[in-house]
Structure 1
Amino acid sequence: MKLRVKEMNRGRRNLKQAASEQDFRLKQCQNIAKIMDTKRDNSSTLFKRKKRRANRAYNLLVMGCYLGLPLRTKRRRRYMSEIPLDLLVEILIRLPGKYLARFKCVSKQWSSLISSRYFCDSLTRSKQQQQEPRLYMCLVDEGGHRALLSMASTSPDNTSFVVDQDLSIPGMGGYYLNDLHGLMCFSMGKKACIYNPSTGQRLTLPKIKPDIIAEQGQTMYVKRHYIGYDPIDSQHKLLCTIVMYSDLFFNLKSEHWVFVLEAGGSWKKVVSHENYRPHTAFARGQSISGSVVHYLAWHDMYTCAIVRFDVRSEELTTIIVPEDVRDDMSIPALEMRAELIEYGGKIAIFEHSNLRTEGTAVLWVLEDAEKKEWSKRSLVLQPCQRHLVQDIELIVKGTTQDGKVILAPLDMHSGFYILCYDLQSNDLRKG
């Protein structure tokens, strides 16, 4: 009997031992699983931590290159030699614009460098040396929506373009986009805006308080902005023309203001000379030629002129357009369709009033500004090209580097496309 009791007790102990061993193994498996999960989490966390450390080290490395800061290692201390500013700028200007905008957040020194006039001038020279055929275009559809597009040439003869960037900014307005050295000027409500798509910088200028006061019957109020460059002082300047008049340009008054694009800049009124005649800027006629801004204007309903603004001296002069340009028009200011372009390094008027109806255009070239000598050239489309312009009101959007005129429909409801008019060969193609 005692032997049976001992055997039973021994069996119970064995069962308990086996159960405890099974529990131990189960707990051991659970611990191993927890360790594996922890290692997996730690590896992910470690990877993220190493990535943050690498990014931080890269920023310190880049900052050290610019500032000449010492770099410490575990074994020994190494001092990084300072990279010359010219070399650093040459490295940065080769980067895409989106990276320049990001690098401004590295430090205050980087932000100051990328925003400095020296860097902007270097970037401008680099873009000009690349000579990449590019066209910037501001479009407005029938719903009033506006788009700022960057178009790159896809053909050796610069007759085909494709949209490669959408640079649209909320609130931008108007058909009338001016661009110079990579800077774009357009209206933002009642204010002017300067935009640099390469760095993503945007500057909205303060509102102008004009000196001219509207009189009885004067209801029209027009503002036009043009951007120019003074190569002597390396300054970009913005010209604003403010006009007030009643119907049919009666009782026309105008004044002009200049803004220098630099720190602490403000609007300054241009002093008019004795022979100054008030005028209103022609809506879609503008051209930039070196340090002189040109635009078309009307003194009245019948007198058209080219206004020249010397960016350096800030003086305004006018050149009356030949009467032959508007001879066959009863009211030229309402009927004439003309744009100011550059042709062969000279200012020219591309008059396309009859392009849609008769397939003809006239090119007036200002051969000598002082003597006011003009040359005239008539252009006639080929019969096979007439369908490209029929029943469509076109607007000049600019010229290519080799002198081709870019035309686009004024209204976008029929779809967007561009026409490239080669004035040398008198050839019109759809881009």
Structure 2
Amino acid sequence: MTETTTKVPKILSSATDESPPLPVLPDELIQEILLRVPVKFLLQFRCVSKSWKTLISNPQFVKEHLDGTSSDLTHQRLLSPMVTDPFKMTSCCVESLFQDPSTPAESTCFMMSDEFSILGTCHGLLCLFNIRLRSIQLWNPAIRIASKSFLTRLSNPREYVTHRGFGYDHVNHKYKLFLTLNDQKTVTKVYTFGANSNSKSWKVIQNFPCCPTKSQGHFVTGTGTLNWFAKAKNDERSVIVSFDLVTESYGEVLLPAGESDIVCIPELVILRNCLCVSFFDSKNWVLWQMKEYGVQDSWTKLMTVPHFVQGVCTWDKLTMSPHYEHDPLRWFHSIIPLCISEDGVILIKTAFSKLVLYDPNVGRWDFPVIRGHHWHNIQTYHESLVSPLG
């Protein structure tokens, strides 16, 4: 009888059974990946290794992350003091409003030590005014770090802020606060933040050469300027008055050619790091963007909305729909662009801080809602790793 043998499957050794080792990514590639990651994950990634913590904490990495994400909706948020509780502020991711406007967006609540108002935002930093103590401090809500507060020396309770702005002097690498104060006379001051800043860091400067129509100045990244809408001193022309934080001097930015005499209810905003202006003419709501700061010929018309409620969003449809309370025409006196996507969809704040999304490509209106609280005095800010401690 012939003996048959059965082949036994070969058992691989533990050495050969292991998966091949993962390739080691070059440090340069790791850095390029991390530069695109949102701040909340970068804070967690600091625990991966000492080298990652060192990289993420490096000032050059912080700067490159800020520069590379400044126009990305993923890193932009809305912030508002709570109406029902002045010791709280709520924040919401802008991207969630664009992705699914029909679903109420979630918000994050910040407990504050006191009641604050927001004087301005720049590079992810909020310049806060403590209403009770009349003091000022910088706060980065993304990394939850605040600077020490300092008194404004506004001891006179009748003295109030008429104009304000917060921005970055990119030549001297200092953050600066611009305030125009008024009691019986008008005084304009600039405060320079920094490691050696103290009460002597307040500097009295020349008052505005003309009168801005809005209190909030808008900082344009890379230019070192704050900007306000204003009326020319000698006539009724609309102009943009600028303040250079480097030279601490005023200038003028021209509106689009032919538009300075016909603007109605103008708003000045920053969209995708560019100075933008919106206003009503006789028939339309118009939005312009200045592609190259200070160059009048670089003004580009981003969109024109006839009567602001034509097409999908007609007056009849609005008055008969549950969205009547969101009617843009009803609140046409207060329309402020907040953010715009790469494909041109724009998020707008109307009166009473109602939000509207408008897609000019298809003429569609959406009315996103943020869960939890009624929002007012909405501000936009960019999440960053920038430390308020200098």
Matched, 1:348 2:279: no
Matched, 1:149 2:91: yes
Q: 2:79 aligns with which of 116, 133, 137?
A: 137
Aligned partners of 1:188 and 1:364: how far apart in 2? 35
Q: 1:222 aligns with which of 155, 158, 161?
A: 161
Deviation at 1:268, TM superposition (A): 3.8
The aligned counterpart of 1:419 is 356
Q: 2:146 aligns with which of 188, 198, 202?
A: 202
Residues 152 and 162, structure 1, Cα contact 8 Å, conserved in 2: no
The aligned counterpart of 2:378 is none
What's the TM-score, normalizing by structure 2? 0.58
Question: Residues 280 and 240 (structure 1 numbering): CA distance in 2 closer, same or farther, change over 3 Å?
Answer: same
Matched, 1:317 2:257: no
Aligned to 1:411, the other structure's residue is in SS state: helix
Number of corresponding residues: 313
Q: Deviation digits for residues 184-236 of structure 1, max 9, x if unmatched?
A: 333332333322233211124423347xx99xxx9562155433234445x25
Aligned AA (2:246): R
Structure 2 unaligned blocks of 5 or more: 1-25, 319-326, 369-390
Aligned to 2:63, the other structure's residue is in SS state: helix
Alignment map for 1:22-421 (pairs within 5 Å): 97=40, 100=43, 117-118=59-60, 120-125=62-67, 127-128=69-70, 132=74, 134-141=76-83, 147-154=89-96, 163-170=105-112, 171-174=114-117, 178-189=120-131, 190-209=134-153, 221-222=160-161, 224-233=163-172, 235-244=173-182, 253-260=186-193, 262-266=194-198, 267-269=201-203, 271-272=205-206, 277=209, 279=211, 282-283=214-215, 286-291=218-223, 292-297=225-230, 305-319=239-253, 322-326=260-264, 337-342=265-270, 347-351=275-279, 360-363=284-287, 369=294, 379-380=306-307, 381-382=309-310, 384-386=313-315, 387=318, 388-392=327-331, 394=334, 396=336, 398-402=338-342, 404-411=345-352, 418-421=355-358
Q: Which has the higher contact order (CA 8 A, sep 6+)?
A: 2
Aligned to 1:97, the other structure's residue is in SS state: helix
Residues 319 and 372, structure 1, Cα contact 8 Å, conserved in 2: no
Aligned to 1:313, the other structure's residue is in SS state: coil
Aligned partners of 2:352 and 2:120: how far apart in 1? 19
Deviation at 1:254, TM superposition (A): 3.8
Question: Residues 196 and 281 (structure 1 numbering): CA distance in 2 closer, same or farther, change over 3 Å?
Answer: farther
Aligned to 1:132, the other structure's residue is in SS state: helix
Aligned partners of 1:225 and 1:360: how far apart in 2? 30
Q: 1:429 aligns with which of 358, 362, 366?
A: 366
Greater fraction helix: 1
**RMSD across aligned positions (CA):** 5.1
Q: Deviation digits for residues 292-317 of structure 1, max 9, x if unmatched?
A: 22223467896754221223333222
Aligned partners of 1:192 and 1:350: how far apart in 2? 31
Residues 224 and 281, structure 1, Cα contact 8 Å, conserved in 2: no
Question: Residues 128 and 371 (structure 1 numbering): CA distance in 2 closer, same or farther, change over 3 Å?
Answer: closer
Aligned to 2:352, the other structure's residue is in SS state: coil
Aligned partners of 1:202 and 1:102: how far apart in 2? 22
Aligned to 2:137, the other structure's residue is in SS state: strand
Residues 92 and 100, structure 1, Cα contact 8 Å, conserved in 2: no
Deviation at 1:257, TM superposition (A): 0.4
Residues 163 and 214, structure 2, Cα contact 8 Å, conserved in 1: no
Question: Residues 288 and 428 (structure 1 numbering): CA distance in 2 closer, same or farther, change over 3 Å?
Answer: farther
Question: Residues 236 and 363 (structure 1 numbering): CA distance in 2 closer, same or farther, change over 3 Å?
Answer: same
What's the TM-score, normalizing by structure 1? 0.54
Question: Residues 314 and 421 (structure 1 numbering): CA distance in 2 closer, same or farther, change over 3 Å?
Answer: farther
Question: Residues 198 and 237 (structure 1 numbering): CA distance in 2 closer, same or farther, change over 3 Å?
Answer: same
Aligned AA (1:257): V
Higher Cα radius of gyration: 1
Aligned partners of 1:86 and 1:339: how far apart in 2? 42
Deviation at 1:339, TM superposition (A): 1.8
Structure 1 unaligned blocks of 5 or more: 1-83, 327-336
Deviation at 1:375, TM superposition (A): 8.2
Aligned partners of 1:153 and 1:254: how far apart in 2? 40
Aligned partners of 1:201 and 1:230: how far apart in 2? 21
